[in-house]
């Protein structure tokens, strides 16, 4: 049995080659549990990827609904499977689920081969055996460790059993809405090859420009396992240009955060840096209204509002803008990073617990970053620097489309009546944020 989870592909999937070493024939199964089936844009995208996987297996993917701890042992008994093969899952929920399933399977082995990462969490440690807490030394160790070659697998690596008539079989669920990006392995590979050819060389300089839209847009495919980072690293093996170096670094950030979460699963919900658990935050009805304004893209700061409206419309936000809006929530509105992280996870189709939570903590200053809380992004100057023509703002804020050039980032005097005034004064709130940081330093 091959149990698919965060690996919705057939190429470069070592789980398949490991299963083929056990038997020529297998049943491919996906179990829809309540964690997977929650409605939202990420689920819609995931179900689109699941349907694409089913097509690549000629419609022979067995879909079950329920608790994997119950459904998988029952299926093993029904078909007489000798082993269950998976890619290892290092998320807190995934580890608990897999341990429970392994116990329920009894004498039938749960075989873990590979993971969603080029270097599995926990594999790279310091000389004394403790985990890295800072990115730069982790990145050096990650490069020195290296990664395996892509696995030689495809849909024909195993003969797939026809699941017709198997107990509990369901059709692949249809998304509640249209997926907000092309779904599946083929779409992922097409996007990667386009980026590799057209945009990778200039990635180092263009990645911070939301108006140019030159990022890879691969994060959702990496989240669902339609692509493996090892494939990307292998395809870039001969590239020494700055763009490829920066893209490797971004892949490493993803693996660093997965490693941090692996060692500190509590950091998904509370501050990695314990002293920040004493940080004073705003509360009450005014705080709730400020949060609603931030969520709805009506703070009066154009680059912030453009980002939040892009998130609502596309289920995705440019990474530079993610940092700007996160800084605004935590440093200008003085609200807990957990509020913003939860909102992102509700909307992002690439919502990955490790990357999302620790990205938020990086901005809030309470995570692993060596530069602490006093980094406060000025939303106006950030907009002027990274959206110099104002095209990104005008794309997402129709109220400001009549404001020319970079003046769109300071629409005072040209502010159309329907676009709100700033809900806070950034200069004053920056000083307030620094005072709050000073209060917890000792």
87 is annotated as contributing to ligand binding: no
217 is annotated as contributing to ligand binding: yes
49 is annotated as contributing to ligand binding: no
Cβ contacts of 302 within 8 Å, gap of 6 or more = 383, 393, 397, 400, 408, 409, 411
219 is annotated as contributing to ligand binding: yes
User: In whole angstroms, what is the distance from residue 382 CA to residue 407 CA?
Assistant: 13
314 is annotated as contributing to ligand binding: no
DSSP class of residue 170 equals B
93 is annotated as contributing to ligand binding: no
User: In whole angstroms, what is the distance from residue 12 CA to residue 24 CA?
Assistant: 18
253 is annotated as contributing to ligand binding: yes
User: In whole angstroms, what is the distance from residue 10 CA to residue 14 CA?
Assistant: 9
254 is annotated as contributing to ligand binding: yes
203 is annotated as contributing to ligand binding: yes
User: In whole angstroms, what is the distance from residue 318 CA to residue 299 CA?
Assistant: 18
256 is annotated as contributing to ligand binding: yes
Helix (H) or strand (E) holding 44: helix 41-56
64 is annotated as contributing to ligand binding: no
Can you tell me whether residue 349 is helix, strand or coil?
coil
257 is annotated as contributing to ligand binding: yes
30 is annotated as contributing to ligand binding: no
Any idea of the CA torsion for 262, 374, 346, 423, to the nearest 10 degrees? 170
Helix (H) or strand (E) holding 243: helix 242-263
**What are the helix (H) ranges across 297-402?**
302-314, 319-327, 337-347, 353-364, 379-386, 391-396
55 is annotated as contributing to ligand binding: no
**Is there a contact between 393 and 217 (Cβ–Cβ < 8 Å)?**
no
147 is annotated as contributing to ligand binding: no
**Is there a contact between 30 and 22 (Cβ–Cβ < 8 Å)?**
no
218 is annotated as contributing to ligand binding: yes
Q: What's the number of CA atoms in the CB half-sphere (13 Å) around residue 16?
A: 21
Q: Give me the helix-helix angle, 41-56 and 185-198, nearest 10°.
A: 100
Feature table: binding site for FAD:
203, 215-219, 247, 250-257, 350-352
Feature table: binding site:
203, 215-219, 247, 250-257, 350-352
């Amino acid at each position: 049995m091959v149990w698919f989870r965060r690996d919705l592909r057939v190429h470069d999937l070592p789980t398949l080659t490991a299963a083929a070493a056990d038997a020529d024939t297998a049943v491919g199964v996906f179990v829809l549990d309540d964690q997977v089936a929650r409605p939202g844009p990420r689920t819609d995208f995931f179900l689109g990827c699941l349907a694409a996987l089913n097509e690549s297996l000629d419609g022979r993917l067995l879909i079950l609904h329920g608790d994997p701890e119950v459904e998988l042992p029952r299926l093993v008994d029904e078909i007489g499977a000798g082993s269950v093969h998976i890619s290892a899952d290092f998320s807190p929920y995934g580890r608990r689920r897999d341990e429970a399933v392994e116990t329920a399977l009894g004498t039938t082995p749960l075989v873990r081969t590979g993971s969603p990462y080029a270097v599995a969490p926990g594999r790279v440690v310091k000389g004394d055996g403790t985990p890295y807490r800072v990115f730069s030394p982790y990145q050096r160790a990650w490069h020195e460790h290296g990664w395996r070659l892509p696995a030689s697998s495809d849909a024909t690596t195993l003969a797939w059993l026809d699941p017709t008539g198997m107990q509990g079989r369901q059709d692949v669920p249809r998304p509640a809405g249209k997926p907000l990006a092309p779904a599946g392995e083929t779409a992922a590979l097409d996007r990667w090859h386009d980026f590799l050819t057209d945009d990778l060389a200039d990635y180092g300089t263009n990645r911070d420009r939301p108006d140019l839209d030159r990022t890879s847009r691969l994060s959702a495919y990496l989240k669902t396992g339609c692509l493996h980072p090892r494939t990307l690293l292998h395809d870039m093996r001969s590239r020494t240009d700055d763009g490829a170096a920066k893209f490797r670094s971004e892949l490493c950030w993803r693996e660093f955060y997965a490693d941090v979460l692996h060692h500190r699963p509590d950091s998904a919900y509370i501050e990695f840096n314990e002293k920040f658990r004493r940080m004073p935050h705003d509360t009450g009805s005014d705080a709730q209204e400020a949060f609603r304004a931030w969520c709805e893209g009506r703070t009066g700061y154009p680059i912030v509002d453009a980002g939040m409206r892009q998130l609502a419309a596309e289920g995705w936000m440019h990474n530079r803008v993610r940092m700007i809006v996160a800084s605004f929530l935590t440093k200008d509105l003085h609200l807990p990073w957990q509020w913003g992280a939860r909102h992102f996870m509700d909307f992002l189709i690439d919502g990955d617990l490790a990357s999302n939570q620790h990205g938020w903590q990086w901005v809030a200053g309470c995570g692993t970053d060596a530069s602490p809380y006093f980094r406060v992004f000025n939303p106006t100057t950030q907009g002027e620097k990274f959206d110099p023509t104002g095209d990104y703002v005008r794309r997402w804020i129709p109220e400001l489309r009549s404001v020319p050039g970079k003046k769109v980032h300071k629409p005072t005097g040209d502010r159309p009546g329907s676009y709100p005034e700033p809900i806070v004064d950034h200069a004053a709130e920056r000083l307030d944020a620094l005072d709050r940081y000073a209060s917890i330093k000792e």
